[in-house]
Amino acid sequence: MIINRIWAMPNKWTFKIKPITDLLARYVKDGKGWADPFAGQTSPAEYTNDLNPVSCAKFHIEAVEFCKLLRHNLTGCLIDPPYSYRQVTECYRIAGRKASAMDTSSNFRSRVANEIAPKIRLGGISISFGWNTEGLGKGRGFEIIEILLVAHGSSHNDTLVTVEKKIKM
């Protein structure tokens, strides 16, 4: 397993942070066969979704519902949800919706992981972003191959990037 810690300026758009941009260039390449249920404005994935209707994503539905629509045999996925319950609430408000208790619980992330994990092909890659390195996990057939800690300095939380490979169905 590779573990790196690199300093970079924070950015609202995770994929615009230089060390993260570099990591994505190594794994995602042209984005074909990749899915991103929380795409925002800068996702390199072929299949994109974001709850915010003004984002440039192809779909604007709940992340779990988007994952249910995805085909099997995906090359990989990008999981960059809001990192805190407060951020979830803000994202829903921006999209003109009210976050439910389920949306601001630990189930928020695991419901998406449970839907998307089976759709990634054997040998496929999952790249998760947040304030922890939970990723999709061993229980869903993945093993960690790389962790990138992006320190932002001052009072900013680090952005943690977990790269996993699917090793069993």
Pick from 72, 73, 43, 68: nearest CA to 58: 43
Domains in the chain: ranges and CATH: 2-166 (3.40.50.150)
pTM assigned to the model: 0.94
Query: pLDDT value at position 117?
Result: 98
What are 25-51's pLDDT values in tens digits? 999 999 999 999 999 999 999 999 999
* Nearest-angstrom CA–CA distance, 154 and 134: 24
Beta strands in the chain (DSSP E): 2-7, 34-36, 47-48, 74-79, 120-130, 142-151, 159-166
pLDDT level of residue 91 (50, 70, 90 thresholds): confident
pLDDT level of residue 83 (50, 70, 90 thresholds): confident
- Across 131-158, average pLDDT: 96
